[in-house]
Amino acid sequence: MSDEAARRQDPHPLRAGVQVGDRLLASWRRSTEYGVLTEAVEPVFSGTWEQESLFFECGREVLTDLHRTLVDEPVSLMLTDAEGLVLNRLSGDTSLLRSLDAVHLAPGFAFSEREAGTSGLGLALADRLPSVVRADEHYSTSLAGYTCAAVPVLDPISGRLEGSVNITTWAEQPGKLLLALAQSAAGATSALMLARARGRSPRPAPRGEVFHVQRGTLEPGSGTVRGLSAPWREALQRSEDAVRDGRVVLAVGERGAGRSTLLAQAVRRARPRDRILSASPPAPQDLDAWLALWSPELAKADTAVVVCEVDTLPARAAAELASLVVVARGARPGLPVVLTAEDLAEVPGPLAALVDTVVPVPPLRERPADVLPLAQHVVRQTRGRDLDITPAAARALETCPWPGNVDQLHRVLRRAALQADTIDLRHLPSEVFSGSGHRLSRIESVERDEIVRVLTTPGTSVKQAAVELGMSRATIYRKVAQYDLRIPR
């Protein structure tokens, strides 16, 4: 085999020897790194679209017009957002729709490369280029029965990626015509957006995953934090022991403290071969679709269940989910089920009755030894390597009360890691230095942020800060006390 042929050889473990183009080869390699299964697409359900953005409105209008001319053809027209979430789907072919439902290529499900591997829409969003993926070119063999053409849609003013137009049909159908149709629809969507752009609100933020099937092992490179504090290790060990014994575990504590992370680690340690159903409460309009996902997944062997924020589930959803879990545990005694909530007293009765073990997860402010290891973990995830954190910045991080817990720490460190190779005080937001518990007015927030900005500038004394801010030193000291600022010098 020539060097060029070897370089282009398919890395797909089930189709060794197949040669593919550079873009598909790169996509397959990314899919492997993401840990995507080759046999099937693991469903990631994020819920249906709530707020209709300009992109959604224009794209739906264009696809509806196109659908009228293709109503008798075996094609499905779809619109996705920039993250690969399927927003809508149109087709007059009921057999095709049933087949697409079976592989979860349906509204509310995520289909980016990370979730589904190489597909037309995943490749188009990853490369921001028109893409056609046919039959065996899909990474997941469950998609080999389709040909998919997709074209990214960019905001005509900002150039921001808004989503894609995707056209899917059976594998034996030609792809060139599909791509031409998708390009035409994407162009028409962009033109319509430009004509209606004035005065429109920005697109809504992406929604979180509310039902996600994961493998028991973490994807390559995702990593986890080891060697954390004794309170975390004790909670993890209790959870692991309970999972190994087949008990239903509830982790309680403040939001963002790491309850779901702790439980997922416990499941992976106790039952490393299990696939994990990870779910969060859905939006009210998605409740029936969310409940319908559970039965077929719970019936599969080597499955564990993680349900977050069960204290916010509607009563009907809690009762139905509890019934499904009882039936599943009857068929599979010891089925691992772990839940999170802020307080056991707030968990709906049917689910609370299933709980065998309650594990408190302490907030981050009670685990100061965990702050820096977690901070470096976020930095590595963000930049792909360790960064230096100055002693002053480290002290500020360790003494911050972190009312938003690990979620807040993640947001702060991700932003700081994108600003510099050495993280210092000036790269941290004012919230890290302020212990003030009362809500600040807009003017107070601006004033506090300016004081923090000046005082965290390297080499700036209080006297110099007073000159720059137009205040006396006494006023600065008073303001520092007023906002409960703790800025290491």
Which tens digits make up the pLDDT trace of 301-312? 888 999 999 999
How does DSSP classify residue 203? Answer: P
Residue 157, Cα to own-chain centre: how many angstroms?
A: 27
Structure confidence by residue, pLDDT tens digits, 172-231: 877 778 899 999 999 999 999 988 876 555 555 556 778 888 766 655 545 567 778 999
Half-sphere exposure of residue 97: CA atoms within 13 angstroms, side-chain side? 12
User: Range with the lowest mean pLDDT among 141-150, 406-415, 435-444?
Assistant: 435-444
Find out whether 456 and 448 touch, Cβ atoms under 8 Å. no
Residues in Cβ contact with 215 at an 8 Å cutoff, skipping those fewer than 6 apart: 35, 37, 42, 275, 276
What value does the mean pLDDT of the chain take?
A: 86
Per-residue model confidence (pLDDT) at position 7: 42
**Fold classified for 211-362:** Rossmann fold (3.40.50)
Rounded to whole angstroms, the Cα distance separating 75 from 95 reads: 11
Per-residue model confidence (pLDDT) at position 219: 54
Per-residue model confidence (pLDDT) at position 321: 93
Q: Roughly what angle, to the nearest 10 degrees, separates helices 473-482 and 442-455?
A: 120
AA identity, residue 10: D
For 80, the 3-state DSSP assignment is strand
Give the residue among 390, 431, 384, 439 at the shortest CA–CA distance from 411. Answer: 431
Residue 337: beta bridge partners? 248, 305
Give the residue among 241, 282, 278 at the shortest CA–CA distance from 259. Answer: 278
pTM of the predicted structure, to 2 decimals: 0.69
Residue 435 has pLDDT above 80, yes or no: no
Rounded to whole angstroms, the Cα distance separating 422 from 429 reads: 15
Per-residue model confidence (pLDDT) at position 136: 87
Report the range out of 31-35, 51-55, 322-326 with the highest average pLDDT.
322-326
User: Range with the lowest mean pLDDT among 145-154, 221-230, 231-240, 360-369?
Assistant: 221-230
Per-residue model confidence (pLDDT) at position 6: 42
Find out whether 38 and 12 touch, Cβ atoms under 8 Å. yes
Rounded to whole angstroms, the Cα distance separating 478 from 456 reads: 17
Find out whether 137 and 24 touch, Cβ atoms under 8 Å. yes
Rounded to whole angstroms, the Cα distance separating 408 from 402 reads: 7
Average pLDDT over residues 414-441: 82
Find out whether 66 and 178 touch, Cβ atoms under 8 Å. no
Per-residue model confidence (pLDDT) at position 218: 57
Would you mind telling me the total number of residues written for the chain in this entry? 489
- What is the C-alpha R_g of the chain? 26
Q: Which CA distances in Å does 186 have to 49, 112, 122, 176?
A: 19, 18, 16, 15
Rounded to whole angstroms, the Cα distance separating 10 from 24 reads: 9
Structure confidence by residue, pLDDT tens digits, 95-122: 999 999 999 999 999 999 989 999 999 9
Percent of the chain with pLDDT over 90: 50
Residue 289 has pLDDT above 80, yes or no: yes
Cα dihedral 411, 414, 419, 422 sign: positive
Residue 485 has pLDDT above 80, yes or no: no
The CATH class given to the 366-482 domain equals mainly alpha
Write out the two tokens for 109: 């499900």
Rounded to whole angstroms, the Cα distance separating 344 from 246 reads: 20
The full DSSP string for 256-269 is TSSHHHHHHHHHHH
Cα dihedral 83, 87, 88, 94 sign: positive
Cα dihedral 103, 149, 212, 347 sign: negative
Per-residue model confidence (pLDDT) at position 2: 45
Per-residue model confidence (pLDDT) at position 8: 46
Phi, psi (rounded to 5 degrees) for 304: -120, 155
Per-residue model confidence (pLDDT) at position 297: 87
Phi, psi (rounded to 5 degrees) for 209: -80, 130
Cα dihedral 88, 92, 97, 99 sign: negative
Rounded to whole angstroms, the Cα distance separating 193 from 62 reads: 11
Quickly state the pLDDT bin for 16 (edges 50, 70, 90): low
Residue 1 has pLDDT above 60, yes or no: no
Give the residue among 271, 156, 155 at the shortest CA–CA distance from 216. Answer: 271
* Residues 3-195, CATH architecture: 2-Layer Sandwich (3.30)
Per-residue model confidence (pLDDT) at position 445: 73
Rounded to whole angstroms, the Cα distance separating 229 from 224 reads: 14
Burial of 229 (0-12, 13-18, 19+ CB in 10 A): middle
For the chain, the domains span: 3-195, 211-362, 366-482
